[in-house]
Amino acid sequence: NAGVTQTPKFQVLKTGQSMTLQCAQDMNHNSMYWYRQDPGMGLRLIYYSASEGTTDKGEVPNGYNVSRLNKREFSLRLESAAPSQTSVYFCASNAKTGAKNIQYFGAGTRLSVL
Amino acid sequence: RKEVEQDPGPFNVPEGATVAFNCTYSNSASQSFFWYRQDCRKEPKLLMSVYSSGNEDGRFTAQLNRASQYISLLIRDSKLSDSATYLCVVNDWNKIIFGKGTRLHILP
């Protein structure tokens, strides 16, 4: 019953440090997503991967890179963290039936950049 | 017009009352619609899909009005545990669009 698993749950970085957020899903979904959520801004899409081996930019990709390592795993990397990247990050995977896309989210990573 | 718009609230409603909120969308070709629930500091979770004919799940009723391009969520006999943020989600064929959410506080 794991669903979508994100690690770490919390992280504090100094400006300029790098880190990778990990995400794995065990539902055999093709599509995976990374969002950030800030107060008053709602969920904003950073990157997504429609299938293994493909990645595409979302609404706010600057400052981030992603890797779709295999069907299960989709990681998000901050190469040089900035205070503006302080946020809650959610990974999601997608079950698609026709036009119906249902997203399943991980528990989130709370990141603070000082 | 924004792709998906919701009243941010908060809606402060006494326990046991009925509350309803709407979500408007801009793309008339949108294919499918959902309500998600997000508790404070937690991830969003699917609450229910929204069908053209309207659908119920216990105390929750969802409606779709394609002519006016909005969906609605009605909660009857509200409970303290219904306090959360409710996100409207609209699917175009290749795009998933989240509203910013409506905050609901149920008051004892």
Do residue A99 and residue B32 have CB atoms under 8 angstroms apart?
Answer: yes
CB A100 within 8 A of CB B31: yes
Using a CB-CB cut-off of 8 Å, the residues of chain A touching B91 are: 99-101
How many whole angstroms separate alpha carbon A18 and alpha carbon A7?
15
pLDDT computed for residue A1 by the predictor: 66
CB A34 within 8 A of CB A66: yes
User: Over chain A, what is the mean pLDDT?
Assistant: 94
Residue A100: pLDDT band by 50, 70, 90 thresholds?
confident
How many whole angstroms separate alpha carbon B64 and alpha carbon B75?
15
Do residue B101 and residue A42 have CB atoms under 8 angstroms apart?
Answer: yes
Do residue B43 and residue A94 have CB atoms under 8 angstroms apart?
Answer: no
Do residue B44 and residue A103 have CB atoms under 8 angstroms apart?
Answer: yes
Which residues on chain B place their C-beta less than 8 Å from a C-beta of chain A?
8, 31-32, 34, 41-46, 49, 87, 89, 91, 93, 96, 98-101
Asked whether the predicted pLDDT for residue A99 surpasses 80, the reply is no
pLDDT computed for residue B108 by the predictor: 95
Nearest CA in chain B to A44: B98
pLDDT computed for residue B95 by the predictor: 83
Do residue B100 and residue A41 have CB atoms under 8 angstroms apart?
Answer: yes
Closest by CA position to B37, among listed B78, B87, B104: B87
Residue A29: pLDDT band by 50, 70, 90 thresholds?
very high
From the list A99, A104, A107, which residue is nearest B91 (CB)? A99
Between strands A4-7 and A19-25, the pairing is antiparallel
Closest by CA position to B99, among listed B11, B39, B20, B23: B23
Q: Please give chain B's pLDDT, 108 residues, in tens.
A: 678 999 999 999 999 999 999 999 999 989 899 999 999 989 999 999 998 888 999 999 999 999 999 999 999 999 999 999 999 999 987 789 999 999 999 999
How many whole angstroms separate alpha carbon A62 and alpha carbon A80?
11
CA distance A41 to chain B (A): 6
Residues 6+ apart with CB under 8 A from A40: B8, B100
CA distance B24 to chain A (A): 16
CB B11 within 8 A of CB B104: yes
pLDDT computed for residue B106 by the predictor: 97
Mean pLDDT along residues A82-86: 97
**What count of Cα atoms within 13 Å lies in the side-chain half-sphere of residue B105?**
7
Asked whether the predicted pLDDT for residue A2 surpasses 70, the reply is yes
**Percent of chain B whose pLDDT exceeds 90:** 83
